[in-house]
Structure 1
Amino acid sequence: MVIKMAGKNNDKRGANHGANELNERKRKVLWAVVQDYSETAEPVGSRTIARKYNLGVSSATIRNEMQDLEDEGYLEQPHTSAGRIPSIKGYRFYVDWLMQPSPVTDDEKSMINHILEEHVTKQDEISRDIARTVASLTHTLSVATSAGGKRKFNYMRFLPLDGRRAIMLVVTNQGEVSNAVVDIPADSSLDEMQLLADRMNHFLHGREIDNTDEQLILSSQKDVERDLTPYMHVFKALQKTLQPPKEVYAGGASQLIEQPEFKNVEKMQDILNLLEQRDMLESMLLSSSDQPIAVHIGTENPVKSLSDLSIVRAQFSSGGRIIGSVAVLGPTRMQYSRIIGMMRFMQQRLDTLLKKND
């Protein structure tokens, strides 16, 4: 096998001096160890590298290079008599400097295109089906979420519930109806609240819901000709009600169980428990990043339960706004080049479709 590696000007890290930490031979040996271990899940020996990869040097030379890589923290030796496996530092160098994203196959392109084209205007369905598809194609656990589409305020009204409470109904331009129970202020009445709603409907009509915040409400006091302070609890309920629903979709838990790293029941239970922490997953998926595709390896993850996993996360944007995100969770020996290549293709294809749809 002839080794082809990314050049030193890899676009993930720019001109960072880290590319020069290893000489060419060590880079090739590290690349080969990562490749082989990702395929076999077995520690890699120098003879295996010499036999399977065309490095042009002897097994003894490779063994010496592997020892140096271990001394420098790029490889680890899990057992005294075993071969080596990549460390977190080794995987990081591989991802940043040695890896080339794999091209997406025609079958994979066809499957991804079908999903994106069918659901391009339905972000929640795209997120759900992308999670399922990526899990199926990569044999990993995938999670996805949408950031909620931009909806516009249509109108609100109040219905009587009992003497001191009312039901607030909020309707969007798409006909979606949300509701919340609110207290009627002591010096107000249901009729006064409905009058306020009529005036607020005029002020808020047609505004994007994700821009309807407390400051905006307060700025309308002059327009509605009254002090809104007694009604702030109502507007807080309005703001909460208008938040676009966010769902976290997961696929591929059964795929992850098949990986040898997760045969341990306790480790797999940790993963299943993780899937119940929807708020944490949503935060992980939608947190801002300066990278279109972010890779967190093992202990680089801020959450302890993720320390045995690597996460490759891609965010999808439209008009500079994040509309959704998908992340692949798998063992640290995951096939980064294939997964990142697939993520890039999805980003580019969805961006093209969204521009066309606009």
Structure 2
Amino acid sequence: MKNPLRKQILITGGAGFIGSHLCERLLADGHDVICLDNFFTGAKDNIVHLLDNPHFELLRHDITFPLYIEVDQIFNLACPASPIHYQFDPVQTTKTSVHGAINMLGLAKRVKARIFQASTSEVYGDPQVHPQPESYCGHVNPIGPRSCYDEGKRCAETLFFDYHRQHQLEIKVARIFNTYGPRMHPNDGRVVSNFVVQALLGKPITIYGDGSQTRSFCYVDDLVEGFVRLMNSPADLTGPVNLGNPGEFTIRELAEKVVAMTGSKSELIFQPLPMDDPKQRRPDIGLAQQALGWKPQIALDEGLQKTIAYFADLLERGIIRSF
């Protein structure tokens, strides 16, 4: 007889950086987890330690194609999330966000599952409001090199809310701000992984612009806790809900912190700022605090220590050099 507390949960993009941590968390919470990934940016190494768990299943699939399975909940995380990866094939990136959302929403509608969309702070674009509340509609370039991701995620949110209004689907939408931690791709071009890898290799730390632009960095365990709380919140809390750490640092401050924590002799070098790169980014997490009782618990120094240790292990095993 099936345990009514044990849910069948699908995680698209489950072999990715955030998805693999979510797989672990939901297994620890006593659920059956179906990890779906096409392995464009996900890696089997991220979930290989879970393959022997009888409550874990790995499915190679691309969500731009329909899927027919029976599940109770869906976490839709599938989409390249770093500029290097989502600009590699921008048309496919948009398809993943839009066609993928349609397919997953269709699945949720058929099986009457609750569905969670991992949206992004990039829906705010280069914001003119600071910090960014969920009510802010954003300042986004619809035709720039980042638009495949930014506008794809914005359209996915539109689809989620239209399915909610038209079909009474139970939806949850989270807007994720910069997240970091173990299992980040060593060559994904994101600022934390870039700086840590460059520092460990003793290479120059590459800063785009003058380093005065700001970001807020949320450790992955804190983010996953927010995911779980939002998914299991009352049905009338649809979101969008900002999930991120409101601590704000300049890019130069982050670089100097990484150099100090790694004991590196790397120097800082400066390159032109990419087009449409946001000048500032910090979440207003008032809604998450009030509705979910959630706020980040792991300070940047503590999270960086764990992240540096992860990349140092990859370096020791010779894995980083292969990228």
Q: State the TM bucket, normalised to the shorter chain.
A: under 0.3
By relative contact order (CA 8 Å, sep 6+), the higher-ranking structure is: 1
Q: State the TM-score, normalized to the length of structure 2.
A: 0.27
**Which protein has the larger Cα radius of gyration, Structure 1 or Structure 2?**
1
TM-score of the two chains, using structure 1 as the length reference = 0.25
| Structure with more of its chain in helix, by fraction | 1
